[in-house]
Amino acid sequence: MEAGLPVNRLSRSAPRVPVGIVHLGLGAFFRAHGAVYIEEAMSLSGGDWGILGVSLQSATMRDQLTPQGGTYMALELGPEGEMLRHVQSVQDVLVARENPGAVLEAMADPGVRIVSLTVTEKGYCHAPSTGRLNMAHPDIVQDLAHPLPVSAPGFLVRALALRQARGLAPFTVLTCDNLPNNGQVVRGVVLALARALDPDLAAWIETEGRFPSTMVDCIVPATKPEDLARLEALIGAHDAAPVLHEPFRQWVVEDDFVGGARPDLAAVGVQMVRDVTEYEHMKLRMLNGTHSSLAYLGYLAGHETIADCMADPVLDRFVQRLWTREIIPALQPPEGVNLAEYADALRARYSNPGIRHRTWQIAMDGSQKLPQRILGTLETNLGAARPCPGLMLAVAAWMVYVRGTDLAGQPIEVKDPLAPELRLAACSDDPVGALLALQAVFPQRLAQALESPLRKAHAALLTQGAKAAMEAVQ
C-alpha cells in the first residue's frame, strides 16, 4: 500500500446484536474459536449473545478492532487449502486499565448472562502447583485494597458484588483456558477473593454462581506482518486483527449455567457434558503436554515451528513414544474415544505445513503450564512405578531453556511471569536443585521424586545435545 493513500478498512456488514457475553482477554484463540462457535449458534438458533470484549491491559485490540466495527477475518489453514470467514459476533471492545468502572458496569448489565475468559494460566493469579489463589500476588493485593480491580479474579468478584447489590442473578463464569478442572480453579480463586472482601458475598456466589469446566482445542498460531499483507491482497481491504487457525476445533462444556441461559452451542457441534474431566486430561496431557515437550526440545534442536519438529524423524519418533509409552498409559479415555487414534490425529495436525506454530511462542509462560501439561502425567507414572524418561527430558529442556541461553550459548528471550527467579535458579551452581525448590511450580513431594531422573536428563542434554538425548531415550 502506497503511503498517503486512504485505507480501505474491513467493516461490519451484519447488524449489531445485544450483548449477552462479556469476554475477558480478547486474544487470538478466543476470536478463532469461541467467538466463531457463538456466532454460528446465534445464526442457527437466535438469541442475544453478542460479545463485548475486554482487554485487561493493552489497548491494542481495541484500537485494531474498533475502526472495523469489532469484526475481523478468520483464515482457516488446511493442508489442502484455505477458507475465509468474516466474524462479526464481537460488538465492542473495552480496555480495563483505562476504564475499569465501565467494565464492571458492563458485567453488571442484566442482559449479560455469561462472562467468559481466555486470560492464560497466569491470569488467574494462582499458584499453578496448588491451584489456590496467591494472596501475595501484586494484582490481588491491589484488588483487596481498592474497589476498582486490575486482575481477572478482581473483576469477577467486584462485578458479582454489583449484581448481588442490585438484586440480579450472577452471571455464569465460563473459563476457556488450559487449566485442569478449570471451572473449579476459577471458582476457588473467586471464592477466596470474595471471602477476603465480604463473606456474605462469597456465600451468595457459592450458592448461586456457576463455574462450568471446559476443554478447548484449536491450534491458533500468532499472526505475522506478512499474514496481514497476504490477507489484504485476498479480500481487498485492510484487516488489522485477523486470526489464523487450523481446520480442527473442539469445545467440550459442562452444561451447568445460571438459569440454563446459554447459546445453543450443542447445535453447532459443542459437546455439552456432565463432567469434562476426562476430555480435559486427554487434551492437556496428550496435546498440550507434547506441544510443550516439542517446544523446548525442538527449540534447543534448532527448529522454529512444530511442523518443522515433525519433519525431523528424531522428534517425530520421540513424540510418538511419549504418547504410546508415557502419556496414554496414564490416562482414562473419555467414553467412546480411542486414545491411539487421537494421538494419530494429533500427529497429523502437528505436521500441517500451513500452520506455522512457533516453538518459542508455545514455550512462553512455562512455569504456569508445566504443572498441568507434564507434571500431572509424571506424578501418575511415578505412582505406578512407570518410567518416563521422555517427559523427564522435556522438563530438563525447560530447565535449560529458562536460563536464557540455548545449548550453543545463543540468547533466548524467555517470556514468563517468573523469568527473573527462573534465570537465577537455572544459572546457579545447582540448576536442577534450585529450580525444583520453586514451590510455585513443583510441589515439594513431587520435586523429591523427580530430582534423580531430572539430574540424569539435564546432564544428557548438556553433554549430548537435544537430538542425541532424544534418540537415546528408550
Q: Do 263 and 334 lie in a common domain?
A: no
Q: Is 161 exposed, middle or buried (0-12, 13-18, 19+ CB in 10 A)?
A: buried
Q: Do 102 and 218 lie in a common domain?
A: yes
Number of domain units in the chain: 2
195-221 confidence digits (pLDDT tens)? 999 999 999 999 999 999 999 999 999
223-266 confidence digits (pLDDT tens)? 999 999 999 999 999 999 999 999 999 999 999 999 999 999 99
Containing domain of residue 255, as a range? Answer: 19-273
Q: Do 47 and 149 lie in a common domain?
A: yes
For residue 81, give the CATH number of its domain: 3.40.50.720
Beta-bridge partners for 23: 53, 116
pTM of the model: 0.91
Q: Which of 76-85, 249-258, 428-437 is least confident? A: 76-85
350-389 confidence digits (pLDDT tens)? 999 889 899 999 999 999 999 999 999 999 999 999 999 9
> Residue 460 contacts by C-beta under 8 Å, 6 or more apart in sequence?
393, 396, 469, 472
Q: Do 264 and 282 lie in a common domain?
A: no
178 domain residue, yes or no: yes
12 domain residue, yes or no: no
All cell numbers assigned to 408 = 550453543
102-136 confidence digits (pLDDT tens)? 999 999 999 999 999 999 999 999 998 889 999 99
CA nearest to 446, candidates 391, 371, 353: 371
Section 33-42 average pLDDT: 98
Domain boundary among 218, 251, 273: 273
218 domain residue, yes or no: yes
DSSP 62-99: HHHHGGGTT-EEEEEEETTEEEEEEE--EEEEEETTT-
Q: Do 290 and 374 lie in a common domain?
A: yes
450-472 confidence digits (pLDDT tens)? 999 999 999 999 999 999 999 99
Q: What is the DSSP letter of 285?
A: I
CA nearest to 157, candidates 208, 119, 198: 198
If one counts every other C-beta atom within 10 angstroms of the C-beta of residue 11, the result is 11
Residue with cell 477476603: 196
User: Would you say residue 401 has pLDDT above 80?
Assistant: yes
pLDDT recorded at residue 258: 98
CA nearest to 323, candidates 352, 361, 291: 291
Of all residues in the chain, the percent with pLDDT exceeding 70 is 99
For residue 342, give the CATH number of its domain: 1.10.1040.10
9 domain residue, yes or no: no
Mean of all residue pLDDT scores within the chain: 96
Q: Do 104 and 248 lie in a common domain?
A: yes
CA nearest to 368, candidates 312, 421, 310, 299: 421
User: Would you say residue 1 has pLDDT above 90?
Assistant: no
Domain boundary among 250, 273, 296: 273
Q: Do 216 and 282 lie in a common domain?
A: no
CA nearest to 410, candidates 302, 296, 293, 292: 302
pLDDT recorded at residue 211: 98
